[in-house]
Structure 1
Amino acid sequence: MWIISFWVFPVISACMWLAMLVAMISTWAAKGKPHYSNMPATRTIPYISDIGATGIQPLFIAGSAVTVVFLDLSFLSERWLRHTGKLVRNKGRFDKACSILSILFSIAGAAGLILLSIFDDVHHRSLHDAFLGLFIGAYLISAVFICMEYLRLGVTYRRQHRILFISFWIKFIFIVVELALAIAFGVLNQHDRGARNAAAVIEWVIALVFTFYVLSFIIDLLPSVRTRHHIPQGEKAFARPSTSSGHPEITYEEPVTTDSMGDRANTYRGPVASGYQTNGANLPRDF
């Protein structure tokens, strides 16, 4: 059984983001695919903000806020776990600085998304566009800095911890894909005719790709997860009796993976059986 840990932050963030997108596009389809007043006549596919500016704006605001709050908690958790040695530690000021800068830009991106959902593109078009640029730009820059951190860590620990390089490549691909899509969106959005429908499709694709970026943080936080095992009753005579049945029982913990695990990840968090810490490492050899 998995112990609830920091990995739930990106899961909640991604699920909230995806659920919000599905709810918005479903609402538009259920209403008969209306042509909103804030859409030009040449465009039949709405932008996310077009739908968000209608009667479901509270959903847009709440979904955006929950998404970025839990995503930024993922950034903060990664920094704290490395600092405390639960994840492999940073080796110098450069990668620590990259981690801190990625957090700062993620906070700026979070503010951009929340504000663009509040200042809709009907009544506050200029502000909305500015906050949209802040959201996309800040999270891309944040991804660049966290890529630099993981590249440095991956080179330093290239023999022991492959997860670091895997995470680096996932985030690097995200940067390349999102940057290319953002440029295409900006170019197509300037056209007056059918190209704007293509721009709307690209915006939805950008949002979906962002979901996979959020989920990539599960890989980063996974080494901090531990499983709790129970030794069947009666197998170890030295284990302390359980309070309910009187039969011997023992509980110990193990990390889900040691890849990218820090030097303090084996610190035990549980009961002691017969004078031994029941984390598997401190038990007698015949255990």
Structure 2
Amino acid sequence: MKPGVVSLVVISDIVRPRLLLRPPAQVSERQRELQKAIKEVDDCGLTIKVEHRPFLLHPTMEEDQVIDRATFYREKFGEEKLKQIKQMVTSRAEDVGVEIRFDGQLCQTIRAHRLLRKAFEVGGQELQEKVQDVLFYTYFTEGKDVSDLEYLTDLADTAGVLTKDQALEFFKSDEYRTEVEHMANEARKKGVTGVPFTIINGKWAVSGGQTSDVYTQDGNIAYISDVGADILKPLFIVGCTITGLSFFLSSAIERTLRHQGRLVANMRRRERILASLAVFFAFVGMCGLILLSIFDTKRFTKQHRVFLLVFIVGVGMSAIFTVIEYRWLSHDFVELRKLKTLYIVKGIIAAILIILAIAFAITLFEAIDPGEWTISFGFTFYLLTFFFDLRMSKGVHKGELSRERLLAMQQNGQSIAATREANQGNGAMPGGHPDQVHGYGNGNGAGTNEYGNGAGTNGYAPGTAGVAGDAQMSHANGPATFGNGNAPIAHPANTHAANGASVGYP
């Protein structure tokens, strides 16, 4: 099993009693809380990388300025609140075997943070933590001034970061000064107001000096849906429900429009079966998405993963059936380029989603961050393709692209695009068959108020209306009511002539 790598960025300041310290020379089971958390997950096969970054609790103080710590705390908190803070801090300090002092000097910590950055450069995580342990310990238990140059140069030499001479040159220069100030400012811009502030893998944050169980959460590493496991859970459920319903309804409405003849109809039974399966699995995917939001990963880890699998399988199967269906449709109607484009786009997205799903399933128990969140982005793009599906029904009347109509056009060698263009150009309006509307149709059948090549009610039919009784008030160029010449009224059919009368235009 390939071990996972967890990156921890701890943002803190030296003058903040984080209560995560231990005496630097003391080997004890009472480890710092963060170190305890790391030790608790040793059997998970994880590699923990820790980097400490600066935060300036007193950014306006001058670099050489010092303030009496007891006076500062008293003025800031007041006697009563300061007493409560001392009790809490003292109690937590005793738990890790140290004695906290509240006297000494409060100072600016830029120099100390510069030394920590240098230690990280020279010896990485191990050396940086070694130097930081000493800084914390001497500041809180001995009341040391951690901005004092002599103290810092001795520490750099003792810890093995730099020699005394090198340390003096380092502090005289501006090395790491700009970086420390930039990191501290960036932390404030990102909303960090209290320290310590721990960022896990660049995604999840733990604010404040927490106990080890907060970091481990019983050994469960958080997934992206953890954002909906606590206070944001109602919003998470609503978002998943809207997304799931949008997916299912888009799939169902698209097939309904095909059935109504407003989108290219499925010509074969196999395509109709595929369409039904695609809608069914879209429903399954919707249910999986909604249920995984209800059964969050924090409280219902196993159920959450089951419904996550249901969601992925539902979307994947629906996508596969949809792509095959579109492939056959585009083969039948080559002239519809949009249809071919949509099936290709859907196929590419579906293939990527399936590959990601397989990779996610393989790495689920091996990697701390398998990247399952990328599937949600891919699903969003797949969902957007339905917008273009539904948009193709714009301006198409019911029955215009029905199966029967498409078969007739195929038999006559007509193009869908050309026929639609002709109908729209001739003023076709809704109300029935394209050749049976209030326009200039191209058909040979009877029609209401039509200018057609056959008999029609209240229509001008230049041709074959030889029996006036077959048409009501029909104007024809032959023997018909109101013809161009003397035309007998053959049958009383609600015309403007009496039986036996001859009505015509000389």
Query: What TM-score bracket applies, with the shorter chain setting the length?
Result: 0.5 to 0.7
The residue that corresponds to 1:47 in the other structure is 223
Identical residues among aligned pairs (%)? 34
Are 2:326 and 2:343, in contact at CA under 8 Å, matched by a contact in 1? Answer: yes
State the 1:184 CA deviation.
1.8
Do structure 1's residue 209 and structure 2's residue 384 form an aligned pair?
A: no
The residue that corresponds to 2:236 in the other structure is 60
Runs of 4+ more than 4 Å apart: 29-32, 35-43, 276-279, 281-284
Secondary structure of the residue aligned to 1:34 is strand
Query: Partners in 1 of 2:304 and 2:220 — Cα distance?
Result: 21
Q: Which has the higher helix share?
A: 1
Do structure 1's residue 137 and structure 2's residue 306 form an aligned pair?
A: no
Superposed, 1:1-287 pairs within 5 Å as: 33-35=204-206, 46-158=222-334, 160-191=335-366, 195-197=367-369, 199=370, 202-226=371-395, 268=429
Are 1:88 and 1:262, in contact at CA under 8 Å, matched by a contact in 2? Answer: no
RMSD, matched Cα: 3.5
After TM superposition, the score normalised by the length of structure 2 is: 0.37
State the 1:135 CA deviation.
0.2
Are 2:330 and 2:339, in contact at CA under 8 Å, matched by a contact in 1? Answer: yes
Unaligned runs of 5+ in 2: 1-189, 198-203, 207-213, 397-415, 432-436, 443-448, 452-506
Are 1:174 and 1:213, in contact at CA under 8 Å, matched by a contact in 2? Answer: yes
What letter matches 2:243 in structure 1?
T
Are 1:38 and 1:50, in contact at CA under 8 Å, matched by a contact in 2? Answer: no
State the 1:37 CA deviation.
6.1
Query: Partners in 2 of 1:98 and 1:38 — Cα distance?
Result: 46
**Greater RCO, CA 8 A, separation 6+:** 1
State the 1:268 CA deviation.
3.6
Query: Partners in 1 of 2:330 and 2:216 — Cα distance?
Result: 47
Are 2:323 and 2:346, in contact at CA under 8 Å, matched by a contact in 1? Answer: yes
Unaligned runs of 5+ in 1: 1-28, 228-257, 271-275
Secondary structure of the residue aligned to 2:267 is coil
Are 1:108 and 1:135, in contact at CA under 8 Å, matched by a contact in 2? Answer: yes
Query: Partners in 2 of 1:73 and 1:55 — Cα distance?
Result: 29
State the 1:269 CA deviation.
5.4
* Alpha carbons of structure 1 residues 37 and 156: separation in structure 2 relative to 1, 3 Å: farther
Paired positions, count: 210
Query: Partners in 2 of 1:52 and 1:101 — Cα distance?
Result: 31
Q: Which has the larger radius of gyration?
A: 2
Are 2:350 and 2:382, in contact at CA under 8 Å, matched by a contact in 1? Answer: no
After TM superposition, the score normalised by the length of structure 1 is: 0.64
